Structure 1
Amino acid sequence: MSAIHYPATSLKPRRDESLLNGHLWIFSGALQQPPHWVENGGILDVKSATGQFIARGYYNPNTDIAIRILTRDAEEDIDLDFLRRRIRSAQSLREVFDSARTNAYRLINSEGDGLPGLVVDRYADILVAQIHTAGMERLRPLLIEALMQETGAHGILLRNDGQSRRREGLPIEEPQVVAGDVPEQVQVCENGVSFFVDFWQGQKTGFFLDQRDKREALRKYTRGKRLLNCFSYTGGFSVYAALNTPPAQVTSVDISAPAIEASRQIFTMNGLDCSPHQFLVADVFDYLAEAREGGELFDVVVLDPPAFAKSQGARTQALKAYRRLNLLGMQVLKPGGILLTCSCSGVVGMDDLLGAVALSAQRLHRSVQLLESYTHGVDHPIHLAMPETAYLKSVFCRVQ
């Protein structure tokens, strides 16, 4: 047995089934009694109602998810070596990327990589980390040390500014350099396309890495076409289309003026002339309504909105928003045009998204062919026993 002994808590009878099936969460109602003797974020062992060791994880008395599992090996300490092994395992998966063409990817995807509560994105030689849970917060010094040792990164920026920290009883922090040196921006490549990333001010960790494979898939639909990219942010989908031969004529729409200006710079960085393209600062819903009234039509429409629902309570309103958005998108799409529509709302499933598309098409008396569907890329693995941690849905449709 391990030389380090952890405090233990026990499950109620017959409450260990999901855990034995591989799930990494234990809800507070499954515990025989709250382990008041364990500090917020502290490591503890989980035992069955009859006293057998099941797993080891960290505890939070302030959330419905009371314990998040780190290991099922009673002899595995939660120490620096443990973290280095998990990081090493995650890195081995990302070796699928050719670093000459793609050097920006998610390195640690929380539960998917066996480190719940931790997200780490790699941008060339810089790591941007987000700690979402009290358990990972307590491991912060060891995490930083392990990341620097295993990755050879030049610096680590900690972006602990997500609202999810409040649910864990953690403070919202300003971005801070916790190891090495971190510049204001860094230039990266993705599938041979160049981007610069502002990980101090940008959304998430600075870029939407989870849409990489969808951006690549879009290329074949946009050669010589007229493309509308809604919620374009810094123009990921836009620049892929504009780099086609023949190039697409792209209209990028986002409510953020800095994001639109960044799009222009990224076009220029890739040797593109901005003059054939439009870069518009506008509310997407307002823009689509005005474009419909003005008779605007596009060959390809991309709808990649922010999450409309971050909780189960917001799901009904979110579904209404997805239906309205897809209706508006189809109204500016030429017959036979391509619609790429996405949802990153975790409580909205693939069937919900397809239902929104189908209902919108019915209202317009149009038929839809489903061409391709995507979820997460290879660098965003999902733990198979935890489908509820999946969030991204993207579908390509032909709208007749």
Structure 2
Amino acid sequence: MSTTTVYPQVRLKPQREEPLLNGHLWVFSGALQQVPREVEPGGLVEVRSASGQFLGRGYYHPHTDIAIRLLTRREEPIDAALLRRRIRRAQELRRVFDPAVTNIYRLIHSEGDGLPGLIVDRYAEVLVAQVHTLGMERLLPLLVEPLLEETGARGLLLRNDSQARRREGLALEEPRLLAGEVPPEVEGRENGVRYLIDPWRGQKTGFFLDQRDKRAALAKYVRAVVAELAPEGVARVLNCFSYTGGFSLVAALSDGRVRVTSVDSSQSAMEAARRHFALNGLDADQHAFVVADVFAYLEEVRARGERFDIVVLDPPAFARNQGARSQALRAYRRLNMLGMSVLRPAGILLSCSCSGVIGLDDLSGTLSLAARALDREVQVLEVLTHSCDHPVRLAMPETLYLKAIFCRLLW
């Protein structure tokens, strides 16, 4: 005889259900009426409107602005079977990747894949997970088996070292193995380019997977510049905040007449970039790898009157909350002014922002202000956001954090 799971009911204040009816998955604390006392932090609840209409089920946190994150909008149990269906659906989307060409990608993208608070990245035969919320942490034991079975992965590593956990009152942890084996280094492929990933200590879960399509798009602009400079010319590409050289590699592999300068503050990242060049059959000594503060480096290059054909600006998030937004906008404006000032006439600039509180209009605005200050004109060539393995729910535009603008500078 089957039993029906009963979840504590939480009711919204009058006329606060519209976002959920439209597909949003968050309930903010200000929208709640009184929460039953028996609900523990991270516990599962059922959400209903003030009139009693069923809206969904999810997990609750009493001490965060986002009080409830929905896991389902149906009257179904939140159990291992539901989590398996979510994982299977996510895996089906990632079939767009030919593993012979690309075998590193995001498998689970939090709300975008119906599992808020969970990130899982695949690197060849291993998975690396991050849990950002208390509610998802309580569900973690139910996730290990379906993640391995649905993907055929050989190992699952947990990287609970993200600062996002602090907002939920969760401690940062050392990486730990949840199942199978995960080596200290994994070789993976992205659009045929080979990378060495450190799943245990690399930034994020080991690699910046969300820039895949931007890296691919860069290649055509590099080839166009080379064709313009042919036959004797050499195209000069500057990659700022280069990390382990993702954009740099794509540029260098586009044509043998390209010389790339990669700049990052991390010595270990620069060493990894050189290894990536060698791994892909490139002579690293034909390119420059500079360990420096990007702002200081750009100031020096500008003072020398040095110019590049293409400049890539892919900084870390300058603002992680609204309180830092104004300061971040000033930083983006300064960075883009410096990047523009070292571009040759008709040069190509790629400007990126991964700050969630900085919108596409904000990034466009900083480009406009920077160009005006330098008496330049800007042609927008291409605007990109997330790759397909980072899906965004239509009803949750605030979760679209990544913006990238390819533009051409004229004067």
Report the TM-score, using the length of structure 2 for normalisation.
0.96
Amino acid across the alignment from 2:29: S
How far apart, in 2, do the equivalents of 1:268 and 1:286 lie?
A: 28
Partner of residue 287 from structure 2, selected from 255, 277, 280? 277
Deviation per residue, 1:44-76 (Å, 9 max, x gap): 1011212232110000011010000011111x2
Is the alpha carbon distance of 1:298 and 1:2 closer, same or farther for their aligned partners in structure 2, counting shifts above 3 Å? farther
Q: Is the 8 A contact 1:229 1:237 kept in 2?
A: yes
Which residue does 2:58 correspond to in 1?
57
CA deviation string 1:244-266 (max 9, x = no partner): 12341000000000000000000
- Distance in 2, matches of 1:284 and 1:278, equals 14
Cα distance in 1 between the residues matched to 2:257 and 2:324: 40
Equivalent positions of 1:114-125 (< 5 A) are 114-125=114-125
Count of matched residue positions in the alignment of Structure 1 and Structure 2: 399
Tell me, in whole angstroms, the C-alpha distance in 1 between the residues paired with 2:220 and 2:18: 46
Q: Deviations over 1:6-26 (max 9, x none)?
A: 111111111111111111000
What are the equivalent positions in structure 2 for 1:42-53 lying under 5 Å apart? 42-53=43-54
Q: TM-score, normalised by structure 1?
A: 0.98
Q: Distance in 1 between matches of 2:66 and 2:372?
A: 40
Judged with a 3 Å threshold, the aligned counterparts in structure 2 of structure 1 residues 353 and 80 are, in CA distance, closer, same or farther, namely same
SS state at 2:177 partner: strand
Partners of 1:397 and 1:112 lie apart in 2 by 29
* Paired residues of 1:2 and 1:77 also in contact (CA < 8 A): no
Aligned residue for 2:230? none
Question: Partner of 1:102 in structure 2?
Answer: 102
Q: Which region of structure 1 is more displaced relative to structure 2, 366-375 or 27-36?
A: 27-36
SS at the partner of 2:143? helix
Structure 2: distance between partners of 1:321 and 1:170: 30
Which residue number corresponds to residue 71 of structure 2?
70
Instruction: State which of 385, 393, 396 in structure 1 corresponds to 2:395.
Output: 385
Matches within 5 A, 1:1-400: 3-74=4-75, 76-223=76-223, 224=226, 225-400=235-410
3-state DSSP class of the match of 1:122?
strand
CA apart distance, 1:2: 6.5
Q: Secondary structure at the match of 2:64?
A: coil
Q: Match for 1:203: what amino acid?
A: Q
Q: Using the alignment, how far apart are the partners of 2:295 and 2:211 within structure 1? A: 22
SS at match of 1:243: helix
Which range is displaced more, 301-310 or 222-231? 222-231
SS where residue 270 of structure 2 aligns?
helix
Note if contact 1:128-1:159 (Cα within 8 Å) is conserved in structure 2.
yes
Q: CA deviation at 1:35?
A: 3.1
User: C-alpha distance in 2, partners of 1:127/1:328?
Assistant: 38
- Partner SS, residue 275 of structure 1: helix
Question: After alignment, is 145-154 or 189-198 more displaced?
Answer: 145-154
SS state of the match for residue 336, structure 1?
strand
Cα distance in 1 between the residues matched to 2:355 and 2:207: 17
Root-mean-square deviation (CA, aligned residues, Å) is: 1.0
How many Å apart are 1:36 and its aligned residue?
A: 2.8
Tell me, in whole angstroms, the C-alpha distance in 1 between the residues paired with 2:257 and 2:32: 59
Question: For the Cα contact (< 8 Å) 1:131–1:160, is it kept in 2?
Answer: yes
Q: Structure 1: how far apart are the matches of 2:284 and 2:163?
A: 36
CA distance in structure 2 between the partners assigned to 1:165 and 1:247 by the alignment: 45
Q: Deviations over 1:279-331 (max 9, x none)?
A: 00000000000000011100000000000000001000000000000000011
Structure 1, gaps ≥5 residues long: none
3-state DSSP of counterpart to 1:5: coil
Aligned-pair identity in percent equals 66
Distance of 2:147 and 2:199 partners within structure 1 = 18
Cα distance in 2, alignment partners of residues 314 and 34 from structure 1: 32
What is the letter of the counterpart of residue 201 of structure 1? Answer: R
Q: Which whole-Å CA distance do the structure 2 matches of 1:272 and 1:2 have between them?
A: 62
In structure 1, how many angstroms separate the alpha carbons of the residues matched to 2:51 and 2:221? 59
Opposite residue 199 of structure 2, the aligned amino acid is F
- Given that 1:371 and 1:395 are in contact with CA atoms closer than 8 Å, whether structure 2 keeps it comes out as yes
Q: Distance in 1 between matches of 2:38 and 2:373?
A: 58
CA distance in 1, matches of 2:385, 2:170: 30
On the 8 A contact 1:241/1:247 being kept in 2, the answer is no
Q: Assess, with a 3 A threshold, how the Cα gap between structure 1 residues 2 and 231 changes in structure 2: closer, same or farther.
A: farther
Determine helix, strand or coil for the equivalent of 1:268: helix
Say which SS state the counterpart of residue 309 (structure 2) adopts.
strand
